[in-house]
Chains A and B, each alone.
Chain A
Amino acid sequence: MNTPDFIRLTLTAITAHRLRTALTVLGISIGIAAVVLLTSIGEGIHRFVLSEFTQFGTTIIGINPGKATTAGGSIGVFGTERPLTIDDALALQRIPNVQAVVPVVQGNAEVEAKGRGRRTTVYGVTSGFPEAFRFDTAIGKFLPADDPQAPRALAVLGDKLRTELFGNENPMGQRIRIGGDRYRVVGAMQPKGQILGFDLDDTVYIPTRRAMQMFNRESLMEIDVMYREGTAEKIIVKDIKRILQARHGKEDFTITTQQQMLDVLSSVLNILTFAVGALGGISLLVGAVGIATIMTMAVRERTAEIGLLRALGAHQKQVLTLFLGEAVVLAAIGGFVGLAIGVLGAQLLHMALPAMPVHTPWIYVVFAEALAISIGLLAGVLPARHAAAMDPVTALRAE
């Protein structure tokens, strides 16, 4: 049998019962629409989270004290490693293609200005911070490149802290107290908003050395290294290891590249998208049952037709393909309708709730259609096999 003939014969069968076909198609299309819509939301969230992360750039390497073991613990707990120091950070600055090295200490402290006080996050950083994290000042300048071991008592305000303390007043040159010490404001940051639950605006930035003194720390919490885009990350990592190992005598630190973090995050988010899509898949199951039911009915109703086809010399395989084809065509049409509903629904959702990230990748669309077709095959296989296996004489006798 030719393929076009086969398709035409299939289509005449499914157009003979318009209402029934429509209802069956609807069953599958609701399932596909649910899968498309839910994975679109999942993928939208995925992209949103990743973009939140990458707005700091993807060429950042973080170094933390202590060696993470495969068990996830850190031998640093036993206090055998040498802590990371500002000198370590200065040494790393000499690696070729490294643009900025930021030694970081973080803590909470009371900030006071003009009689008003507020407890906020204090970041001890250096002048390379805006470059490394792509985060610049709104007014004034960031911390100057002072001697890292003896910096001046200067501070830069986060956007929220600035309005909390100074309102609409210009904070430039104002004197504030942080943890009891006196600082002079040299700039204020642009608003950044919340990122994954952290308020980056309710902060104040001071030189690392001073933050260490304030929090009574001998060592750094982290060193962030930003390298030039286009440079091989591996080489930078190797250089960092070599220099720090030479300084510490062993590998008592952990290097986390932004890329690694993104990979981990991405795989977690993929699981999320998949789980959400699987949830939609449950409604596809209902559609599959619908197709199986309608095909079973069709085989029963058209028993005489099956007998006739066999009498006219149709092979069992031809009968099988005809009924299987019907199930697949039903499912495929359902798939297309479902895709249309799903994509449209995603767009509407995006228009109604602009804050809700929605994204429909084309590969999902293809995948959903393939899924619909496979469901048609699966749901149709039993009724079709039943049809093919019928005894022609018995089938012909059916009325």
Chain B
Amino acid sequence: MIELQQINRIFTVGDQQVHALDHVDLSIQSGEYLSIMGPSGSGKSTLLNIIGLLDRPTSGTYLLEQHNVTSMNDDTLAHTRRNKIGFVFQFFQLLPRLTALENVELPMVLEGIPPAERRQAATETLNTMGLGERLHHRPDQLSGGQRQRVAIARATIMKPAVILADEPTGNLDRHSGKDVIELLEQLNKTNMTLIIVTHDPEIGLRATRQIRMVDGRVMEDNHKR
């Protein structure tokens, strides 16, 4: 479902050019569980942002479900993002002034889904994540692990095809990190494609497919059976 062909991403800083992605070819099937590892600055986040349509490649072709997204305009990209892609970030990125429930509802608010319908969906999602008691808590009243679970609920409320998690455990202790990974794996079992960027080999090795990046290139691509 994800086809990257000869993707380059070049950042220009002053008169210096940074080749963040260097002719990346990558093909990901629907429902895959994939981890991306590699040294700092190797282009992992950049790759994830391009897959998530937050960033555009400098050159190359990207097909998402057979659609060429490199030529889409901003509004179509935003719309695709909303419906097909769920982001999970290292720093959770919850809006501090909204409750857990309201944070989870946010993508549905942007989509214009009626309040009753989205309230129900958000409540159910949070319930399945074990946060039924925390619906009306604000982020600062939640633990790190709970916050990340709220963020995951938000990422999945629109039933996206792909979940992109950029170091989702980077800010969590070992125990809650493991909880979060297990939660993501559970979602993967419902056939959501899962892509996790991580520095933690223990987490990386759990994925059925492991990619290793160095200097903007895919150096290893291991399938586990």
On whether the beta carbons of A16 and B87 are closer than 8 Å, the reply is no
What per-residue 1/0 map shows which CB atoms of A316-342 lie under 8 Å from chain B? 111000000000000000000000000
Query: Does B87 lie within 8 Å of A312, measured CB to CB?
Result: yes
- Interchain CB contact under 8 A, B95 and A308: yes
Find chain B residues with CB under 8 A from A304 CB.
93
Q: Which residues of A contact B106 (CB under 8 A)?
A: 309, 312
Which of A2, A308, A309 has the most chain B CB within a 10 Å cutoff? A308
A147, CB-defined interface residue at 8 Å: no
Q: Please report the C-alpha to C-alpha distance between residue A4 and residue B80 in the assembled complex, in whole angstroms.
A: 24
Q: Which residue of A lies closest to B87 (CB)?
A: A311
Q: Chain A 213-230 against B: per-residue CB contact (8 Å), 1 yes, 0 no?
A: 000000000000000000
From A2, A12, A399, contact of B98 by CB (8 A): A12
Q: Within 8 Å of chain B (Cβ to Cβ): is A9?
A: yes
Convert A1-42 into 0s and 1s, putting 1 for each residue whose CB lies closer than 8 angstroms to a CB of B: 110110001001101100000000000000000000000000
| Pairwise interchain contact A1-B112, C-beta atoms closer than 8 A | yes
Size class of A's contact patch?
20 to 34
The residues in B between 57 and 95 inclusive whose CB is less than 8 angstroms from any CB of A are 74-75, 78-83, 85, 87, 89, 91, 93, 95
Task: Using CB atoms, name the residue of chain B closest to A318.
Answer: B110
- Asked whether, in the complex, the Cβ of B110 is within 8 Å of the Cβ of A309, the reply is yes
Residues of A within 8 A of B111 (CB): 313
Q: Which of B22-30, B47-55, B199-207 forms part of the interface with chain A?
A: B47-55
Indicate whether B107 reaches chain A with its CB closer than 8 angstroms: yes
Closest CB in chain A relative to B56 CB, distance in Å: 10
B53 to chain A, nearest CB (A): 9
Which residue of A is nearest B76, CB measured? A315
Once the chains are docked, how many angstroms separate the CA of A13 from the CA of B87? 23
Q: Is B97 an interface residue (CB 8 A)?
A: yes
Residue contact B110 to A312, C-beta cutoff 8 Å: yes
B52 in contact with A313 (CB, 8 Å): no
In the bound complex, do residue B74 and residue A315 qualify as a contact, i.e. CB atoms below 8 Å apart?
Answer: yes
Number of CB contacts from chain A to chain B under 8 A: 71
Please state if A310 and B93 are interface contacts (CB–CB under 8 Å): no
B130 within 8 Å of A (CB atoms): no
Residue numbers in A under 8 Å from B158 (CB-CB)? 313
Residues of A with C-beta under 8 A to B44: none
B97 touches A313 (CB 8 A): no
Contact code string B86-127 (vs A, CB < 8 Å = 1, else 0): 010101010111100000001101111011000000000000
- Smallest CB gap from B107: residue in A: A312
Rounded to whole Å, the gap between the CB of B191 and the closest CB of chain A is 21
Q: Which of B95, B98, B111, B114 has the most CB of A within 10 A?
A: B95
C-alpha spacing A312/B107, complex, angstroms: 6
Contact B87 A315 (CB under 8 A): no
Judging by beta carbons under 8 Å apart, are A393 and B110 in contact?
Answer: no
Cβ proximity bits A355-399 to B, threshold 8 Å, 1 near / 0 not: 000000000000000000000000000000000000011001001
Q: Is the CB of A1 within 8 A of B74?
A: no
A313–B54 touching, CB < 8 Å: no
A112 close to chain B: CB less than 8 A: no
**CA A310 to CA B106, docked complex, whole Å:** 11
> In the assembly, what is the distance between CA of A317 and CA of B79, in Å?
12
**Does B91 contact A399, Cβ atoms closer than 8 Å?**
yes
CA A307 to CA B158, docked complex, whole Å: 18
Interface centre among B97, B111, B154 (most CB of A within 10 A): B97
Query: Does A348 lie at the interface of the complex (its beta carbon under 8 Å from any beta carbon of B)?
Result: no
* A95 interfacial by beta-carbon distance below 8 Å: no
Are B75 and A313 in touch, CB under 8 angstroms?
no
Question: Which residues of B have CB within 8 Å of A16?
Answer: 96-97
With the chains together, A95 CA to B225 CA distance in Å?
115
Q: In the assembled complex, how far is the CB of residue B124 from the closest CB belonging to chain A, in whole angstroms?
A: 19
| B residues near A2, Cβ cutoff 8 Å | 109, 112, 114-115
**Residue among B83, B85, B110, B111 having the largest count of chain A Cβ atoms under 10 Å:** B110
Q: Told that A2-B109, A2-B114, A311-B52 touch, could you supply 14 new A-B pairs with CB distance under 8 A?
A: A1-B109, A4-B115, A312-B82, A312-B106, A312-B107, A313-B80, A313-B81, A313-B158, A314-B82, A315-B74, A315-B79, A392-B54, A392-B55, A393-B54
Question: Can you give 12 contacting A-B residue pairs, CB < 8 Å?
Answer: A2-B109, A2-B112, A2-B114, A4-B115, A9-B109, A12-B98, A15-B97, A304-B93, A312-B81, A312-B82, A312-B110, A313-B110
Q: Which 4 A-B pairs have the closest CB atoms?
A: A313-B82, A313-B81, A16-B97, A308-B93
Binding site for A on B (CB under 8 A): 49, 52, 54-55, 74-75, 78-83, 85, 87, 89, 91, 93, 95-98, 106-107, 109-112, 114-115, 154, 158
